[in-house]
Each structure stands twice: as structure tokens, then as C-alpha cells.
Structure 1
């Protein structure tokens, strides 16, 4: 019901969520699912697309300690995807496309801030992928993840492609952390994110050329909290010749919710090589 305060319910005064409690996106060659799980509001966002044989996906996780995190996540996902599709159409390579998408997502998240936000403007994490006939490219800012899974449940090739931009993730990777952060080496506090309170706009980028068919899984920590080990994830996910991408995304989302669902869940699945 419309109200005198745009974006809020006229009956209860609460702000509307810009996302849905549940969304299933299926383009056949790429698919994604997001679910609010046991949280009051879904602050995760997903976007998927395709251009010719290339498939593209973005997963953003709203930072729960920020205001209106769902707005930042949706703005980043939608603008990041649009920028990547436009870059691919213009002839840019996958790595350059990833950087273009990250910058667009960062600008979009930053633009959601208002003067009333104080020190906690809308913010989110970001992970994206471009899968072409010959390569897989991943870019990220924050602790949303990308996993490479080999064919038919094989654990040999299973790998976590991203390094969490958190205190614990950076320490485990042997990278420097902000002064004082090393005093709590188990902290999941972010050291990079998107929002008006962050200058981060350049995603870390990884590109490789798989020698065998496989699947790329992007997810927020609503899934990786319960299924973070790539080998365990590989056992659960059928290879490219098995279940369709949407079925895999639904199964992983259901697993996270049934495992406790402490956080919103977002999962995108991209087969390699892309399905014609």
C-alpha cells in the first residue's frame, strides 16, 4: 500500500524490501537462486545474463551492519551485470570486462547513500563471473565466493577461486591486514567492500582455462558458512552432464536453509563450457 513516506508501508511504517524473499532465475545456460532463509529481510542480490555463448553472473551480499543493505546489493548486482554485458558486446576481453563491472557496481552502491546514513551507509560484497567457450574469469570485493568444480562430483579439481576480503581470509592467505586486526585472527570483519564508506572499486581478478568440463558456483556466505570446503561442495554438485544449473542452485540453497539458514542465501551456477 502506498504511503506518504516513499518506500514504506502505510499500515506499519516499515520499509519495503527491494528484493524478494525468494527468487529463482533460470536462463538454462546459467541459473541462480536467492532466499532470505531465517532472516527477516533478504539483503542478498543476484543477476544473471548471457551474450552469445558467454554467460555472466553476479552475487552481492548486503552488509548486515549497514543501513538499507539490500538497496546497495541490488544496485551493485544490476549495474555490475549491465556493465559487463555491455563491455563484452563492445569487444572487451573477460578480464577487462570484470574490472569494468566491478567499477560500475562500486559506483552504484556508493550512489545509494543519503545524508541520513551517518557512518553506516548501504554496503555490500561483490563476486562476479564471466564464462566463455575457452575461459573462466572471476572477480570479487568482499567475502562472497567462487568455486570451481570438476565433472561429476570429482574432488580432484575442486577449488576455491577467491580469497575472502576479511581479517581471517587475509591472514590465512599471508596478506597484510589493518593495524590491530591481527589481534583477532579469527575475525570475519571485512577489509574490502562496496559502499559510500569504502574506496574499493577494483575487483581482484582470476582467469584460467579449464582442461575439462566443470561448473562454477558463486555464492554468498549464507551457503559457504555451511558448505565452505570445495571438496565437500563438489561431492554434492553433479557434473555438467547431470542436473540442470537451476536444479543445482535450488539444491544448494535448500541445503543452506535446512542446515540452519542463519543468513540470506544466494547461489549462481555456470557450466563450463557454456551450453549452446
Structure 2
């Protein structure tokens, strides 16, 4: 469990079926809630060599780029969002280069690779996005109708959803979890993260997670409901909620590694 301040926590768990944890998380926060946070989760591609090393290296490298100052004071939101988008793009490239550098065999057909998801909070303005199928969600305290996923999966399931296939059907289709973009030596040329943003004008949680969690609770409204149930059973702090979400995924089967990074905002 990582929890540098009481309003932010992260946990990465091996799950119940894997022999090692190929996920990695990183976070950096201010002491003042909502002022500044960087939340990162990377999921090693299980079919690649030493994917656990790729995710560790990518999480650290991308966080180092995203923690560089991006103050909003006296800056129009549009200008700041452009700066943030550039930082996310550079973070993805840095993470990809770091993941690639963990490979030791130039002839390896499946060199170390991983996904990338991150959120940056700056004075309660939230930017989130991803490369691959790890996710960022906004879970408002008031109700499920404004719960959203910030970003879009790079996956075959999302391609089906874009073509009108219902979410449940798409996410359970053959090859649904095959990703179309990733970080590492064989990454596609365009690693621009799929971004979305919002101003947190009400209390809620920024949640960054790997598919070890959302495999069992994918839709934003369903995840909102899950968070409320976990609050009732485990407690109100981000550390307690994160632990409860991991317990839920393990109780649901724990088929994959499970990573959850959570920031509580209360504007």
C-alpha cells in the first residue's frame, strides 16, 4: 500500500491466479487535498518477456515526467490543458523508452511491454488518459449519473463498442482484451494518450486501475455502486476503499493482477 498523504492511496496485488505481479503503480501528491496529484498504473503485457520489468520502468519514467510543475495560476484552462496534453504525450514516450530498455535480447519477438494509464490533478482540474486498456475513472460522491471513464481503451473490445456492440457483449467477445496500443520496443508509432478532463466541482474520487479490477466491474455507473458498497464495508479513506476494491476483485476470481490508485477530492 502506498499512501503518502491521507487523500491518496494506491495498492497493487498479485491476484489469485498469477505467479507474479506484472502490474506497477506510482504516485506523487501534495499534502493539500486536490492541489496536486499524479496517479499512474501500468499493466505488463503477459505475452511479452519480463513484462513486470516493463511496467515498473514505465510507471516510474512516466510519473517523473508528469510530476514536473504545471501550475494553473493565471493560466487560461485551455492553455493549461494543452500543456498537460503535451506532458502526457511525453510521459507515454518516456515510459515506452524505459520499458524498451528493460529488454536484453534484441532478437526477442515479444520484448517487454505494458499498458499505461495516468491522471493528473491540479487544483481540482482532472486530466486522465491511457495507452492500452488500463483505465481512469471519475466517481462522484453524489450519484452514478456523472460517473465517467476518462479516456478510451485501445482494445478490440472498444473497437466493437465503437461499432455499436453492447459493452457487456464486447468485453466478453473472443480477443476482447487484445490491445491495439502499448508501450515498449514494439509499440506502434503513435503513443498519444487518449485524454479527457473535467473540473471536480463536487466531492468524489479519481480512480486509476488495471483490468484486474474493471474486468469485474466495467461500466462507470456500476463502479460507482461498487465504491459505495466498499465504503460501507471497509471505510471512507482512500486506503480503505482501495483495499476494498482489491478484495472485491479477488473475491470475484482474482484472475489477473489488480492495481488501484485513488485520490479523494472534496472541492
TM-score normalized by the length of structure 2: 0.82
- The answer as to 2:14 corresponding to 1:32 is no
Q: 1:67 deviation in Å?
A: 0.5
2:209–2:259: 8 Å Cα contact kept in structure 1? yes
- Whether the aligned pair in 2 keeps the contact of 1:32 and 1:269 (CA below 8 Å) is yes
Q: What residue ranges of structure 2 are gaps of 5+ in the alignment?
A: 74-79, 165-172
Residue by residue over 1:62-118, the C-alpha shift from the partner in whole angstroms, topping out at 9 and shown as x without a partner, is 000000000000000011111111243799743333223222112111222222551
Q: Deviations over 1:185-233 (max 9, x none)?
A: 7532111001101134321221222332211111100001111121121
Quick one: distance in 2 between partners of 1:120 and 1:161?
A: 29
Aligned to 1:148: 138
Q: Partners of 2:124 and 2:192 in 1: how far apart? A: 24
CA contact (8 A) 1:143 1:166 kept: yes
Q: Name the residue aligned to 1:164.
A: 153
Q: Which residue of 1 aligns with 2:242?
A: 249
1:25 match: secondary structure: coil
Provide the residue aligned with 1:222 in structure 2: 212
Instruction: From the two aligned structures, give the one with the greater helix fraction.
Output: 2
| Structural mapping, 1:62-101, within 5 Å | 62-88=44-70, 93-101=83-91
> Within 5 A, what are the aligned runs for 1:156-235?
156-174=145-163, 187-199=176-188, 200-235=190-225
Contact 1:123 1:195 in 2 (8 A): yes
Contact 1:51 1:85 in 2 (8 A): no
Q: How many residues align?
A: 241
- CA distance change for structure 1 residues 233 and 107 in 2, over 3 Å: closer, same or farther? same
Of the two, which has the highest radius of gyration?
Answer: 1
Query: Deviations 1:20-50 (Å, cap 9, x if unpaired)?
Result: xxxx101222111110012100000000102
**2:40 corresponds to which residue?**
58
Aligned equivalent of 1:110: 100
Give the whole-Å Cα distance in 2 for the aligned partners of 1:162 and 1:135: 15
DSSP-derived class of the 2:70 partner: helix
Q: Does 1:259 align with 2:252?
A: yes
CA RMSD of aligned residues (A): 2.5
Contact 2:72 2:122 in 1 (8 A): no
Cα distance in 2, alignment partners of residues 134 and 263 from structure 1: 32
| CA–CA distance in structure 2, aligned partners of residues 272 and 206 of structure 1 | 17
Report matched runs for 1:111-130 at 5 Å.
Answer: 111-115=101-105, 118-130=108-120
In structure 2, the residue matched to 1:46 is 25
The TM-score, its normalising length taken from structure 1, stands at: 0.80
